[in-house]
Amino acid sequence: MAAPIKPETIVPGISASQGIAYGQIFVFIQSDVEVPNYQVDADKRVGEIGRFEKALLATRQQITKIKNEVEKNLGAEEAMIFDAHLLVLEDQALIGETIREFEKTGRNIETCFNQISSRYIQAFAEIDDEYLRERAGDIRDVAQRVLQNLLGQAENSLSRLADKRIVVATDISPSDSASIDRGQALALVTDSGSRTSHAVIVARSMKVPAVVGVRDLTTRVKNGDWAIVDGYDGIVILNPSEATLFRYGKIQEQKKSFESRLLQANDQPAVTLDGVKVSLLANIERVDELAMVKDYKAQGIGLYRTEYLFLNSARIPSEQEQFIAYSTVVKALAPLPVIIRTLDLGGDKPMVGHPNLFPKEDNPFMGFRAIRFCLVHTDIFKDQLRAILLASAYGKVQLMYPMISGAEELAKANAVLAECKAELKARGQAFDEELEVGAMIEIPSAAVTVDLLAQQCAFFSIGTNDLIQYLLAIDRVNDRIAHLYEPTHPAVIRTLKQIVAEAHRHKVPVSVCGEMAGDPIFAPLLLGLGIDGLSMSPAWLPSVKYLVRAMTMVDAKALAAKALTMASPKEIYAMCDAFYRERVKLE
């Protein structure tokens, strides 16, 4: 095809699903439902609630149909996305508040539902955790469907995609992304969104490239424009030249070859060229991620984030409900280890529907959260601890506390744990008497008192995401200063080295479960600093394992030693990047 007349333009975004696509653009515009606002006559109010119930039922039927289609086309794991949508329709807090608002004001049910659901959406949208912030999309998607059914409007859908196209949208709801004909979508590109959005999850399942966070692209392109979507580097190239098309054809061949090498390495042990075994574990949030843990050959679970069990429920899960979830994971992976982290709820991750437990805070990252919340609400904490203890009877369980700030706080947590053990003994219920207890190192005060914490801990896990932002005083979700969030800052590297040295002096192993662990550029630096294990999202395991098998530990230690003498974060990063590229032979 002849080169396009329009000039070539490169638009940066965030890589979300790997791959390269070339084709014409389809701009998908999805507008919010316009909600009327009026007073309902007193004699029609019973019928108004009946209308609401019918709309909820119709929405449930639509979502169940979508779920069944996704399960048929993409598989059961991908279909579980819509379980969260069905849970929204069962949320008695959301439904109950809508009806109470209607009974109080007498305004039409659309207005009441829109007001209450918007409040929930806003609450999730303000959460600093990226995964949870994306869950606002679940509620928004369901709310739009309910409103469409109340107003008798046809649902928005991408099923009208008539030919192979690159789909460009402001955002793509889970329902819309699920309705895409996977034979027609070449790639997905959105103005907003993140790597954890449902559209991205579906894109990965469909094995199509996706780039998100491409600001205002929908206003810069029109239907029929030609583009390349580079899901590896997270860019969109509008009106690519013939030279660019040729170059990307070569890149695509190289990437496919490299991915094949990664998958081959995934079946091999994580051992360096000089014979050092490396522990590579997985981070999970839900039971349905077990399949990925097994597929990518993780050596266990290095971080089981239990708060998602609470955040996906309209009420606080009971001890028995938690036990079922934890024991399912433990049994499935036995005899491999499973590190279960206690609740990191509060502040930036509140349970919607429980405003009394989680009042709004000006600085949630440093607020009433995690272990601080648990030590106040010991009834909730003890239910969880007993559930973890009971699960420990079925495999190798380790328990870990988040956001520990010092030895006194750790001692209080362990005292509550001791009470739970005594209660289970009194019940005559079995648990692992030798259960190992560890702490997250993610607060600077913990980092400098590792020697004191080591007297009460069997292991440490460094949460680099929080530790870095606390060390550097950088809010990593603030666009104006996010560029200052540098994992290779000398303060970060020196702190990591000090943590490892002090922990090892007390014979306590140290792993990393933050984002640094899953980045193959940083993994050699961490291992060279003496980190004993790396825990990451399951999908990152092949990349890190490949690099481990392509390097020596001697070289990794030399890399770390050199980094500890350097002053520039950018120069340290460049050195780590060069180390990576020399061994994976990307170029």
Could you tell me if residue 544 is inside a domain? yes
* Active-site residue, 354 included: no
**H or E segment and range at residue 301:** strand 301-305
What CATH number did the domain enclosing 361 receive? Answer: 3.20.20.60
Q: Which two tokens stand for residue 63?
A: 């979502």
Structure confidence by residue, pLDDT tens digits, 451-489: 999 999 999 999 998 899 889 987 655 546 656 778 999
What CATH number did the domain enclosing 199 receive? Answer: 3.50.30.10
Residue where a domain stops, chosen among 99, 127, 151: 151
User: Could you tell me if 586 and 475 lie in one domain?
Assistant: yes
Structure confidence by residue, pLDDT tens digits, 26-36: 887 665 667 88
Where are the strands (E) in 444-531, listed by range? 459-462, 510-512
Could you tell me if residue 442 is inside a domain? no
Contact between residue 338 and residue 397 where contact means Cβ atoms under 8 Å apart: yes
CA–centroid distance for 70 within its chain: 21
Residue where a domain stops, chosen among 392, 418, 436: 436
User: Could you tell me if 186 and 122 lie in one domain?
Assistant: no
What CATH number did the domain enclosing 54 receive? Answer: 1.10.274.10
User: Could you tell me if 305 and 428 lie in one domain?
Assistant: yes
Residue 526 pLDDT: 98
Structure confidence by residue, pLDDT tens digits, 171-194: 776 556 656 666 678 888 988 766
**Burial tier of 555 (Cβ tally within 10 Å: 0-12, 13-18, 19+):** middle
pLDDT over 50 at 4, yes or no: no
Q: Indicate the DSSP class of residue 393.
A: G
User: What three-state secondary structure class fits 399?
Assistant: strand
User: What three-state secondary structure class fits 281?
Assistant: strand
Catalytic member of 112, 198, 489, 576: 198
Residue 313 pLDDT: 62
Structure confidence by residue, pLDDT tens digits, 556-568: 999 999 999 999 9
User: Could you tell me if 70 and 26 lie in one domain?
Assistant: no
Structure confidence by residue, pLDDT tens digits, 230-270: 988 889 999 998 899 888 888 877 777 777 777 777 889 99
Residue 360 pLDDT: 67
User: Could you tell me if 518 and 394 lie in one domain?
Assistant: no
Higher pLDDT, 536 or 527: 527
Higher pLDDT, 420 or 205: 420
CA–centroid distance for 370 within its chain: 18
Residue 240 pLDDT: 92
User: Could you tell me if 307 and 416 lie in one domain?
Assistant: yes
Residue 262 pLDDT: 79
Could you tell me if residue 291 is inside a domain? no
Q: Which two tokens stand for residue 321?
A: 């409900």
> Which one of 293-297, 358-362, 407-411 scores highest in mean pLDDT?
407-411
**Mean pLDDT (the chain, rounded):** 85
User: Could you tell me if 166 and 146 lie in one domain?
Assistant: no
Structure confidence by residue, pLDDT tens digits, 378-397: 999 999 999 999 999 999 99
Residue 143 pLDDT: 86
> Sorting pLDDT into bands at 50, 70 and 90, what band is 587?
very low
User: Could you tell me if 193 and 218 lie in one domain?
Assistant: yes
User: Could you tell me if 167 and 19 lie in one domain?
Assistant: yes
pLDDT over 60 at 1, yes or no: no
Residue where a domain stops, chosen among 132, 151, 170: 151
**Rounded mean pLDDT of 209-214?**
87
How far apart are the C-alpha atoms of 482 and 407, rounded to whole Å? 32
How far apart are the C-alpha atoms of 20 and 22, rounded to whole Å? 7
How far apart are the C-alpha atoms of 503 and 405, rounded to whole Å? 16
**Rounded mean pLDDT of 415-432?**
97
Contacts with 303 (C-beta within 8 Å, 6 or more apart), sequence order:
281, 283, 284, 339, 341, 400, 461, 513, 535
Strand partners, 236: 11, 229
pLDDT over 70 at 25, yes or no: yes
> 150-159, 446-455, 539-548, 572-581: which has the minimum mean pLDDT?
150-159
Q: Which two tokens stand for residue 247?
A: 């170059």
User: Could you tell me if 161 and 17 lie in one domain?
Assistant: yes
Domain count, the chain: 4
Could you tell me if residue 457 is inside a domain? no
> Sorting pLDDT into bands at 50, 70 and 90, what band is 352?
low
pLDDT over 50 at 2, yes or no: no
CA–centroid distance for 574 within its chain: 27
Could you tell me if residue 539 is inside a domain? yes
Q: pLDDT above 70 covers what percent of the chain?
A: 82
Contact between residue 434 and residue 495 where contact means Cβ atoms under 8 Å apart: no
Pairing of strands 226-230, 20-28: antiparallel
Catalytic member of 112, 420, 457, 513: 513
User: Could you tell me if 407 and 507 lie in one domain?
Assistant: no
The DSSP line for 352-398 is: TT-TTTS---S-GGGSS-HHHHHHHSHHHHHHHHHHHHHHGGGSEEE
Could you tell me if residue 372 is inside a domain? yes
* Active-site residue, 513 included: yes
pLDDT over 80 at 213, yes or no: yes
Domain housing 48: 42-151
Could you tell me if residue 253 is inside a domain? no
Strand partners, 512: 462, 534
Could you tell me if residue 174 is inside a domain? yes
Q: Which two tokens stand for residue 267?
A: 């079946």
Contact between residue 205 and residue 75 where contact means Cβ atoms under 8 Å apart: yes
**Rounded mean pLDDT of 314-324?**
88
**H or E segment and range at residue 266:** helix 242-266
Q: Which two tokens stand for residue 181?
A: 């004909």
Q: Which two tokens stand for residue 419?
A: 């009470």
Pairing of strands 226-230, 235-238: antiparallel
Residue 408 pLDDT: 96
The rounded radius of gyration (Å) of the Cα atoms in the chain is 25
User: Could you tell me if 25 and 161 lie in one domain?
Assistant: yes
